[in-house]
Copies of this chain bind each other. A is one copy, B any other.
């Protein structure tokens, strides 16, 4: 290829700039910044690399696949979860739930990445450790109960936070908040209701209270905690 051009016409090789210093931590932080700003879909290896003034392929020395980068992001987020605390087991459970929720609201992509097999990064392990010891210090020390309660809580929090985050994203994407969106879909709903096929839904839409996502979160959390309490009595 290049021998088709004489030296006179051939351009100089591109000056190789001194490569910017890299580390997993810098890479993860850049990825998180991207995800915070423009959502998880905006995290591409090319964009992360560009933010660090590097070529995309350079990242593969620090990470084998994009999935591993996401895993690192999850652990970094867990590091931000406030340590659970509380004098009673129910206070600790609530604090675990609200702690994770607070991080998910700050880093909305966190909610999307939770829920697969348990993550095992150091910060995640530390969070588990803190949860267990906080729970145990309240006197709840039956491992079976603790395991079940934590698993159920975990699953609940994932669902609730996902829902809440999805609502906020939809709100930003469409520019319509929940009330405006309901207004926008009202004409369609009225036409559906006019068929007479959904009388209960019609009444429900008219008369039921409109719960905000955070109210649902609190409510379900209370249900869970009280359910656990009644199972402890049994």
Q: Does A133 contact B (CB under 8 A)?
A: yes
Given contacts A158-B162, A201-B128, A223-B227, whether A208 and B167 have CB atoms under 8 Å apart is no
Cα A43 to Cα B98 with chains together (Å): 36
Measured CB to CB, the closest approach of chain B to A151, in angstroms, equals: 5
Task: Give chain A interface residues in 145-165, CB to chain B under 8 Å.
Answer: 146-149, 151-152, 154-160, 162-163
Contact check, A223 vs B220: say whether CB atoms are below 8 A apart.
no
Query: Count of chain A residues with Cβ under 8 Å from any Cβ of B?
Result: 61
Grouping DSSP codes into helix (H, G, I), strand (E, B) and loop, the A interface class, with mixed when no group exceeds half, is helix
27 A-B pairs (CB sep. < 8 Å): A116-B163, A116-B167, A116-B170, A117-B170, A120-B189, A128-B198, A128-B201, A129-B198, A129-B199, A132-B201, A133-B200, A143-B208, A143-B209, A144-B209, A146-B208, A147-B209, A147-B211, A148-B216, A151-B211, A155-B156, A155-B216, A156-B220, A156-B224, A158-B159, A159-B159, A220-B224, A226-B230
